[in-house]
């Protein structure tokens, strides 16, 4: 059986992909970050994150979907985002 991954597209729609997303995101907070982000993993462990978890194929898709970079694990992108808003 082929595993399918549910990813978030640039228009906010979910779609099925044969490859896993490279970035994770929080649907409510509209933040994206690395899958191993310590901040996200803490939130997941606390049980408050999973229901809002989304995945993106890459960074441009996350940005196009209206998400902003995580300040914890994407510090470079976050600084760029902050200085351009």
What is the binding site for Zn ion (CB under 5 A)? 33, 37, 39, 70, 72-73
59 and 30 in contact (C-beta within 8 Å)?
A: no
For residue 42, the Cα-to-chain-centroid distance in whole angstroms is: 15
Shortest spacing between CB 36 and Zn ion, in angstroms: 9
Nearer to Zn ion, 15 or 28 (CB): 28
Nearer to Zn ion, 15 or 30 (CB): 30
Q: What is the DSSP string of 43-66?
A: HHHHTSSGGGEEEESSHHHHHHTT
Shortest spacing between CB 4 and Zn ion, in angstroms: 25
Nearer to Zn ion, 17 or 39 (CB): 39
């Amino acid at each position: 059986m082929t595993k399918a991954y549910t990813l978030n597209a640039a228009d906010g729609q979910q779609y099925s992909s044969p490859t896993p997303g490279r970035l994770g995101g929080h649907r409510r907070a509209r933040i994206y970050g690395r899958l191993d982000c310590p901040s996200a993993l803490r939130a997941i462990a606390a049980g408050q994150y999973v229901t809002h978890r989304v995945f993106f194929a890459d960074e441009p898709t996350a940005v196009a979907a209206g998400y902003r970079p995580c300040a914890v694990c994407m510090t470079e992108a976050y600084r760029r985002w902050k200085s351009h808003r």
